[in-house]
Chain A
Amino acid sequence: MAGGGRRNPLNVNLTPMIDCTMLLVIFFLLTTQMASPDFVSLRLPRPHSSVAREHQAGNKAVINVVPYDDSQIASGAGRDDQAMEYRLGTEHYQVGDLNKLVDRLNFLRSISSDPKEFMVQIRSDARIGFVEVEPIFQVLQQAQIQKVHVAAVRAPGG
């Protein structure tokens, strides 16, 4: 017969590809941090000889001081040392609007499992000026909360 005989069907060995794919999936499963309203993407401070430790206590509220993003800074909407807003969970607060934040913290403390041990974690971008974070301390004073955790990058191995 012209054109030769029947071709052998091309068999691609898929095993190495599946192995690689499995490894990638496992890698991503172990290294990803799922999106959470409590953890806004920020450039956290990196203190020298950081004593920051992982803290898993649930009896807390996390206040994020959110900076302007790069596009907003480029367009002149804000500066890199300015805070755009505060976030507590999924709720957004204007920088000047602190009474609502005090009320919210008081409410969260009242419904917490141990109001005496209730604490607040402050997460802020390292580039933000202190004057933008300072109102948070006023809020804590008004809400009579003394236990504070400051978010920072841990030391290697810490």
Chain B
Amino acid sequence: MATDYPSQPEPDEKNEGRKRPSRPGRPTSMSQPPLTPLIDVFLFLIIFFLLSCQFHQAEGTIPANLPNTLPGGPGEGSAMIVPDPIRITLTPAGDEADTVLIDGDGRKMDGMAGLFDYFQECRARYGDSVLDLRPVMIKPRAGIRWGCVVDAFNQAVRAGFKQVGVAPSGGPATY
């Protein structure tokens, strides 16, 4: 004898059965957009960035003008006398690559802070016009690394000097 069981509802029908009765004006089916492609794209983007990115270094530039030593410059032919440059000599000290002796017009400096103080002294002695008129010439001796030169360059610009040049490392001690 066949028993007439009620047929099992299909999954959708079953779920539908659990849903709250829909209110008027609301969508009846809660359709979810497929998220798999979205996740795929995001993961690809992350892998791309991880492989190709280069983290931002806080990079900037120190602006200056090289001293005018060229014919036809503003100093030539004019009555204005351009004073001698402020001469800074960087000499390697010891085995440490970053240790330098700083000599400003024959005076020994105590590190880069001492160099900045020396520039401030020059400014106080000659007035603010020295910043435009008198160039700073940095002469790195053999063995000095670029980082030290930039440090001295930075102190000159920090003190307000507009013309900062770098003398060749070879040749005589005077320049």
Q: Which residues of B contact A33 (CB under 8 A)?
A: 53-57
* Pair B56/A127 contact, Cβ less than 8 Å: no
* Pair A126/B150 contact, Cβ less than 8 Å: yes
Stretch from A38-46, A69-77, A91-99, A105-113 forming part of the interface with B: A38-46
Q: Which residues of B contact A50 (CB under 8 A)?
A: 60, 62, 154
Q: Which of B56, B142, B143, B147 contacts A31 (CB 8 A)?
A: B56
Tier of interface size on chain B: 35 or more
* Pair A52/B49 contact, Cβ less than 8 Å: no
User: Which residue from chain B places its CB closest to the CB of A126 in the assembled complex?
Assistant: B147
User: Which residue from chain A places its CB closest to the CB of B113 in the assembled complex?
Assistant: A48
Tier of interface size on chain A: 35 or more
In the complex, A33→B52 CA distance in Å?
A: 9
Q: Which of A39, A45, A52, A137 contacts B147 (CB 8 A)?
A: A45
* Pair B55/A31 contact, Cβ less than 8 Å: yes
User: Which residue from chain B places its CB closest to the CB of A137 in the assembled complex?
Assistant: B166
* Pair A28/B150 contact, Cβ less than 8 Å: no
- Which residue among A17, A41, A48, A144 has the maximum number of chain B CB atoms within 10 Å of its CB? A48
- Which residue among B59, B64, B169 has the maximum number of chain A CB atoms within 10 Å of its CB? B59
| Chain B proximity of A57: nearest CB distance (Å) | 10
User: Which residue from chain A places its CB closest to the CB of B156 in the assembled complex?
Assistant: A51
| Chain B proximity of A148: nearest CB distance (Å) | 6
| Chain B proximity of A124: nearest CB distance (Å) | 5
| Chain B proximity of A11: nearest CB distance (Å) | 11
Stretch from B19-27, B39-47, B80-88, B125-133 forming part of the interface with A: B39-47
Q: Which of B39, B45, B60 contacts A158 (CB 8 A)?
A: B60
* Pair A49/B39 contact, Cβ less than 8 Å: no
In the complex, A137→B175 CA distance in Å?
A: 16
* Pair B61/A146 contact, Cβ less than 8 Å: no
| Chain B proximity of A119: nearest CB distance (Å) | 8
Q: Which residues of B contact A53 (CB under 8 A)?
A: 60-61, 63
Q: Which of A18, A39, A131, A134 contacts B39 (CB 8 A)?
A: A18
Pick the 9 closest A-B CB pairs, nearest first.
A52-B60, A126-B147, A47-B154, A28-B49, A149-B61, A32-B53, A45-B150, A154-B60, A45-B147
Q: Can you list 21 contacts pairing A with B, beta carbon distance less than 8 Å?
A: A33-B56, A44-B57, A45-B147, A45-B150, A46-B147, A47-B62, A48-B155, A50-B62, A51-B154, A125-B146, A127-B97, A128-B145, A128-B146, A133-B149, A137-B165, A146-B66, A148-B65, A148-B66, A150-B62, A152-B150, A153-B57
Chain A residues packing against B (C-beta within 8 Å): 14, 17-18, 21-22, 24-25, 28-29, 31-33, 35, 39, 41, 44-55, 65, 81, 121, 124-134, 137-138, 140-141, 144-154, 156, 158
Given A51-B157, A127-B146, A153-B57, 12 more A-B residue pairs with CB atoms under 8 Å apart are A14-B35, A45-B151, A47-B147, A48-B151, A50-B154, A54-B59, A54-B61, A126-B145, A130-B146, A133-B149, A137-B168, A152-B60
